[in-house]
A and B are shown apart, each in its own frame.
Chain A
Amino acid sequence: MSELLLSILRIGFLLALWWFVLTVVSVLRRDLQAPRDAKPLTPARSSKQPSQRPTLRSRKTSTKLVIVEGALTGTVLPLGTSPISIGRAPDSTVVLDDDFVSTRHAQLTPNGNHWIVEDLGSTNGTWIDRTRISAPTVLRPGTQLRIGRTSMELSS
C-alpha cells in the first residue's frame, strides 16, 4: 500500500477513535442533564375515587411527603386520607431501614387541612427542624420532619 494512503488511514484511525470518545462524552453530558427535563409519566397514578379527592381537602392541603435526606432520598409518597406510620417494622407505610429508627417510630395523621406528627415512644425521638417533639405537633409545609437519618417534607 502506498505511503500516502497509509498516512491518511493513520490519521483517519485517530479521527475515528476520537469521534468515538467524543460521542461517548456527549452521551455522558446528555445523561447528566437528563433529570432536569424528565417529565412525570403518570402523576399520582390510579386512584379508585378520583372525583372524590378534591372534595376531601382544600386546595392548600399538602399532597405529597417527600423524603429529602437519608437512604430513600427522592422517594415521593402521595398523601391520602389515611394515617401514615413510620418505622422499621415491615408493615409500616414508610419502612426506614436504619439503626436509629424504632420499630414503630412515629405516625402522621391527617386532621382537616393539616398533618399531625406523633411520636410513638421512639428511642431516638422525632424531630421537626431542630426541635424534638414531645406531643402531637402539626407538621407545616417547608419544615423538615427528621427521623433517624432520614428527613422528609410535606409538599403540595
Chain B
Amino acid sequence: MSTNLIRYRVSTRRSAELTLLIGAWLIGVFAWILVDASTDAASLGGWTSLLSAGVLLLVTHGVVRWQAPYADPLLLPSVAALNMLGLAMIHRLDAAAAQRAASNGSPPPTPDVYLQLTWMLVGLIAFIVVLTFVGDHRRLQRFTFTAGFAGIVLLFLPLLPIIGTEVNGAQLWISLFGLTFQPGELAKVALTIFFAGFLVGRRHSLALVHKKILGIGIPRGKDVGPLFLVWIFALLVLILERDLGTSLLLFGLFTVMLYVATGRRSWVLIGALLLAVGGALAYRLFGHVQIRFDVWLRPFDDANGNGYQIVQSLYGLANGGIFGTGWGQGYPQLVPFAKTDFITSALGEELGLMGLIAILLLFAIIVERGARAAVATRDPFGNLFAIGLTTVIGLQTFIVIGGVTRLVPLTGLTTPFLSYGGSSLVANYIIIGILIRISNAARAPEITDDQLVLRQDVETK
C-alpha cells in the first residue's frame, strides 16, 4: 500500500478570490470616475495608474494560485479594496492640492498618487517574494534572534546622523538616494517573528509561576528576561524618536502574544497596569504626550492651535453625516495630513458613516481571516506568528482610527493600506503575504511529505 491518506475534496475558492479582486478593482474605478466627475482631477490623468493597479492585482492573484493554491480567498480582495479606496482618495486630495496651488498662482504640485502606485507595486512585489521564497513559514523560526536584532537595528536607524530624517517633530524616517523610508514599519514584522519564535519554545515555562506578588504569578526571570530586554530597548528607541503610535502598537502586540502563548489572563492585567503607569509617566515627562492627552480630552479649548487637526477632522466627519458628501464634494483637504494619518476622516467625510462602516468591516474581515489562519494552522510557531501579524494590523487600525474619531488619544500611525506612505504599504503587504502563506498551510487538505508524518511504505515493512 502506498500513500493511503484519506483525501477530502476541499474547495480552494480561488475563483471567488478572482471575482472579488475584480470587484475590488471596479470599486476603485467607480470611485475614480466620481472623483474625476466632480473635481477637476481628470486633468491630472491617472487612468494608466488605475489600469496598472488592476494588472498588478491580477498578476498577484496568479502567483497566489500558483504558490499558495489553498490560501485564504478573502485576504487579498479585502486588502485590494482598501488599497484602491486609498488610491482614489489620494487622487481626490491631489486634485484639491492642485486647485489650491492654482488659486495661489503657484506651480501645481506633483500628484502623490503616482508615488503611492509605485509603492503599491513595490508592496505587491514584496508580497510575491515572500509568498515564493518563504515556502514554509516555519523556516522563519530559525531567524528568531536575527529578527529580534534586526528589529532593534531598524528601529534605531532613524537616529543615525546622516541618513536619519526628522519630519514633523518625529525622527522616524531614513533618507537614502532621495527616497524616504520608515524602517519602524518593517521592524514590527521582524519583532513579531522574534516574539513568536521566542515565546513558542518557552510558553510552557512561562506559564509556570515562580513566585507570587500581590496575587499575580511572576514567571522565572530567565524565561522573560530577554523578552523584556528587547521590549524595553524598543520602547527607549521609540521615546527618543517621539513615536507614540509605534510604541503603543509594539506594547499591545507584546501583551497579546504573551497572553496567547501562555493562556494566562494575568498578562493582560499586567499589560493594562504597565500601560496605565507608562501613560501617566509619559504625561508627566514629555510635553508632546501632554498635548496629545489635552487635545484628546478638550479639543475645542484650543481649536485653532494644537486641537486644529482633530477639530477639523470632527467637523469633516460631521459634514459627511450618514451617507457622506460624495466623492469630491466635501472639504477633506482642510484637515492637515489628510493623505496620511487622517485619510479615515477624509473617507468618512465623503463616504459618510455608511462608507466608514464598510471600510471598518473590511478591516474586521482581514483580522478574522488572520485569526482563523492562526487557529487552523497546525504548528505552534505558526499559531503565534499569525496571531501576532493579525494583531499588528488590527491594533494599528484601532489606534489610528480611534485617534481620528477621538476615541483614544491621537498617536501618529498610518491607516493600513489606505494611507499615503510607502513603508507602511510595503510592510503591510509583507504581513498579508505571510498570512496567506500560513493560511495555505492551514487549509491544505492533506499532509505533505515534508511534514514527515506518515511513512509511505507502511505495509512493506
Residues of A within 8 A of B (CB): 1, 6-7, 9-14, 16-18, 20-21, 23-25, 27-28, 31, 34, 38-48, 64, 71-73, 75-78, 80-84, 90-95
In the bound complex, do residue B358 and residue A6 qualify as a contact, i.e. CB atoms below 8 Å apart?
no
> Which chain B residue shows the least CB distance to A71?
B378
In the bound complex, do residue B9 and residue A24 qualify as a contact, i.e. CB atoms below 8 Å apart?
no
- B455 part of interface (Cβ distance < 8 Å): yes
In the bound complex, do residue A24 and residue B74 qualify as a contact, i.e. CB atoms below 8 Å apart?
yes
> Which chain A residue shows the least CB distance to B204?
A99
Determine the distance from Cα of A75 to Cα of B445 in the docked complex, in whole angstroms: 10
Contact of A14 among B77, B324, B365 (CB under 8 A): B324
Contact partners of A16 in chain B: CB under 8 A: 26-27, 30
For A17, A27, A39, A81, which residue has the most chain B Cβ atoms within 10 angstroms?
A17
Cβ proximity bits B47-88 to A, threshold 8 Å, 1 near / 0 not = 000000000000000000000000001100110010000000
Contact of B10 among A21, A38, A90 (CB under 8 A): A38
In the bound complex, do residue A6 and residue B38 qualify as a contact, i.e. CB atoms below 8 Å apart?
yes
In the bound complex, do residue A20 and residue B20 qualify as a contact, i.e. CB atoms below 8 Å apart?
yes
- B318 part of interface (Cβ distance < 8 Å): no
Contact partners of A44 in chain B: CB under 8 A: 4, 6
- Please judge, given known A-B contacts A46-B1, A75-B453, whether A27 and B74 are in contact too, CB under 8 Å: yes
Name 18 extra pairs, CB < 8 A, besides A20-B20, A28-B368, A72-B447. Answer: A1-B37, A6-B37, A11-B323, A12-B30, A16-B30, A17-B27, A20-B27, A24-B74, A24-B77, A24-B365, A25-B365, A28-B369, A38-B9, A38-B11, A39-B9, A41-B8, A45-B5, A48-B1
Determine the distance from Cα of A147 to Cα of B329 in the docked complex, in whole angstroms: 66
Determine the distance from Cα of A78 to Cα of B3 in the docked complex, in whole angstroms: 10
- Give the interface size bracket for B toward A: 35 or more
- Please judge, given known A-B contacts A16-B27, A27-B20, A93-B455, whether A46 and B3 are in contact too, CB under 8 Å: yes
Cβ proximity bits B429-459 to A, threshold 8 Å, 1 near / 0 not = 0000000000000000001000011110011
The segment from B210-218, B236-244, B349-357, B388-396 found at the interface with A is B349-357
Minimum CB–CB distance from B77 to chain A (whole Å) comes to 7
Determine the distance from Cα of A31 to Cα of B71 in the docked complex, in whole angstroms: 12
- B408 part of interface (Cβ distance < 8 Å): no
In the bound complex, do residue A17 and residue B8 qualify as a contact, i.e. CB atoms below 8 Å apart?
no
Contact partners of B9 in chain A: CB under 8 A: 38-41
Cβ proximity bits B1-34 to A, threshold 8 Å, 1 near / 0 not = 1111111111101001000100110110011001
- B461 part of interface (Cβ distance < 8 Å): yes
In the bound complex, do residue B326 and residue A40 qualify as a contact, i.e. CB atoms below 8 Å apart?
no
For B5, B8, B37, B379, which residue has the most chain A Cβ atoms within 10 angstroms?
B8
Determine the distance from Cα of A95 to Cα of B453 in the docked complex, in whole angstroms: 5
Contact partners of A84 in chain B: CB under 8 A: 458
Contact of B7 among A17, A28, A45, A81 (CB under 8 A): A45
Contact partners of B8 in chain A: CB under 8 A: 38-41
Contact partners of A41 in chain B: CB under 8 A: 7-9
In the bound complex, do residue A9 and residue B13 qualify as a contact, i.e. CB atoms below 8 Å apart?
no
Cβ proximity bits B359-382 to A, threshold 8 Å, 1 near / 0 not = 001100100110000000011100
Contact of B13 among A21, A31, A78 (CB under 8 A): A31
- B327 part of interface (Cβ distance < 8 Å): yes
Minimum CB–CB distance from B222 to chain A (whole Å) comes to 18
> Which chain A residue shows the least CB distance to B359?
A17
Contact of A27 among B2, B5, B13, B351 (CB under 8 A): B13
Contact partners of A21 in chain B: CB under 8 A: 358, 361-362, 365
Determine the distance from Cα of A9 to Cα of B33 in the docked complex, in whole angstroms: 10
In the bound complex, do residue A18 and residue B358 qualify as a contact, i.e. CB atoms below 8 Å apart?
yes
Could you name 14 residue pairs across A and B whose Cβ atoms are closer than 8 Å? A1-B38, A9-B34, A9-B37, A14-B352, A14-B358, A20-B24, A20-B358, A24-B77, A28-B368, A46-B2, A46-B4, A64-B6, A78-B5, A80-B459
Contact partners of B326 in chain A: CB under 8 A: 6-7, 9-10, 13
**B318-333: which have CB < 8 Å to A?**
323-327, 329
Minimum CB–CB distance from B199 to chain A (whole Å) comes to 15
- Please judge, given known A-B contacts A7-B326, A14-B355, whether A94 and B453 are in contact too, CB under 8 Å: yes
Minimum CB–CB distance from A39 to chain B (whole Å) comes to 6
- Please judge, given known A-B contacts A20-B27, A24-B77, A82-B459, whether A13 and B327 are in contact too, CB under 8 Å: yes
In the bound complex, do residue B1 and residue A17 qualify as a contact, i.e. CB atoms below 8 Å apart?
no
In the bound complex, do residue A23 and residue B1 qualify as a contact, i.e. CB atoms below 8 Å apart?
no
Contact of A10 among B4, B323, B368, B459 (CB under 8 A): B323
Determine the distance from Cα of A34 to Cα of B27 in the docked complex, in whole angstroms: 28
Contact partners of A43 in chain B: CB under 8 A: 6
Contact partners of A95 in chain B: CB under 8 A: 452-453
> Which chain A residue shows the least CB distance to B383?
A71
Minimum CB–CB distance from B363 to chain A (whole Å) comes to 11
Determine the distance from Cα of A71 to Cα of B378 in the docked complex, in whole angstroms: 5
Contact partners of A13 in chain B: CB under 8 A: 27, 30-31, 34, 326-327, 351
Determine the distance from Cα of A12 to Cα of B8 in the docked complex, in whole angstroms: 42
Determine the distance from Cα of A76 to Cα of B446 in the docked complex, in whole angstroms: 10
